[in-house]
Structure 1
Amino acid sequence: MPVQSLPIRDSAFHVRLLHQYLILLKNYPILTKSVTSGILSAMGNLLSQALEAKRKAKEGTPVKEIDISGPARFAFYGLLITGPVSHYFYQLMEVLMPTTVPYCMVKRLLLDRLIFAPAFLLLFFFVMNILEGKRWADFQSKVNSSYWSALKMNWKVWTPFQFININYVALEFRVLFANMVALFWYAYLASVRK
Structure 2
Amino acid sequence: MKKALFAFGQWYDLQIQVRPVATKALTSSFLAVCSSVVAQIIRRKLSLKEVLSFTLQAAPPFSHFWFAMLEAKLGPGKALLKTALDQLFFRPIMVFYCFVATGVLSGKRWAEVHANVQRNFAKVVINSWKVWPGAIFLTQRYLPQHYRSAFIELLAFFWDVYESLMICSEEVTDEKE
Taking structure 2 as the reference length, the TM-score comes to: 0.88
In structure 1, C-alpha distance between the alignment counterparts of 2:94 and 2:141, rounded to whole Å: 20
Structure whose CA Rg is larger: 1
1:16 aligns with 2:24: no
Identity among equivalent pairs (%): 23
Unaligned runs of 5+ in 1: 1-10, 54-63
1:138 aligns with 2:116: no
1:95 aligns with 2:35: no
In structure 2, C-alpha distance between the alignment counterparts of 1:136 and 1:44, rounded to whole Å: 24
Alignment of 1:23-102 (within 5 A): 23-53=14-44, 64=45, 66-79=46-59, 81=60, 83=61, 85-99=62-76
Unaligned runs of 5+ in 2: 170-177
**2:155 maps to what in 1?**
181
Alignment deviations for residues 4-25 of structure 1 (CA, whole Å, 9 cap, x no partner):
xxxxxxx811111111111111
Report the secondary structure of 1:12's partner residue.
Answer: helix
In structure 1, C-alpha distance between the alignment counterparts of 2:102 and 2:55, rounded to whole Å: 11
Report the secondary structure of 2:63's partner residue.
Answer: helix
Alignment deviations for residues 29-81 of structure 1 (CA, whole Å, 9 cap, x no partner):
1000000000001111111122333xxxxxxxxxx4x32222222221222x2
Q: Which of the two has greater helix per residue?
A: 2
In structure 2, C-alpha distance between the alignment counterparts of 1:51 and 1:136, rounded to whole Å: 26
Taking structure 1 as the reference length, the TM-score comes to: 0.81
1:124 aligns with 2:98: yes
1:159 aligns with 2:150: no
